[in-house]
Amino acid sequence: MNGPTFTIDGRSVPFTEGQSIIQAAREAGIYIPHLCYHPEFRPHGSCRLCVVEAGGRSVPACSTPAVAGQQVRNRTERLDRMRRTLVELLFVEGNHFCPACPKSGNCKLQAVGYWLRMLDTPFPYLFPRRELDASHHDVLLDRDRCIFCELCVRASREVDRKNLFAIGGKGTRCRLLVNSPDGRLGSSGLSLGDRALQVCPTGALLPRKGAFHVPVGRRLYDGRSIAESDE
Q: Which of residues 21, 61, 152, 190 is near ligand SF4 by CB under 6 A?
A: 152
CB atoms within 10 A of CB 176: 24
Quick check: 116 binds ligand SF4 (CB under 6 A)? no
Q: 35 or 164, CB closer to ligand FES?
A: 35
Q: In the set 6, 15, 148, 221, which binds ligand SF4 (CB under 6 A)? A: 148
Phi, psi at residue 95, to the nearest 5°?
A: -125, 95
**Residue of 25, 112, 149, 185 that binds ligand SF4 (CB under 6 A):** 149
d(CA 154, CA 152): 5
Minimal distance, residue 141 CB to ligand FES, in Å: 22
Q: Which of 88, 93, 133, 150 binds ligand SF4 (CB under 6 A)?
A: 150
C-alpha torsion 68→72→74→79, nearest 10: -140
Q: Per CB under 6 A, does 47 bind ligand SF4?
A: no
| Residue 192 to residue 205: CA distance in whole angstroms | 10
DSSP code string of 166-224? EEES-GGG-EEEE-STTSSGGGTT--TT-HHHHH-SSSSEEESS-TTSS-TTSSTTTSS
CB nearer ligand FES, residue 43 or residue 113: 43
Name the segment binding ligand SF4 (CB under 6 A); options: 45-53, 64-72, 127-135, 197-205.
Answer: 197-205
By CB under 6 A, residue 185 contacts ligand SF4: no
Measure the CA angle with vertex 132, ends 130 and 134; round to 5°: 170
SS3 at position 122: coil
Judged by CB under 6 A, which stretch of 9-17, 64-72, 185-193, 200-208 contacts ligand SF4?
200-208
CB of 61 to ligand FES, least distance (A): 6
Q: In this chain, which of 50, 107, 146, 206 binds ligand SF4, going by CB under 6 A?
A: 146
Using CB under 6 A as the criterion, which residues of the chain lie in contact with ligand SF4 when the complex forms?
146-152, 176, 200-202, 204-205
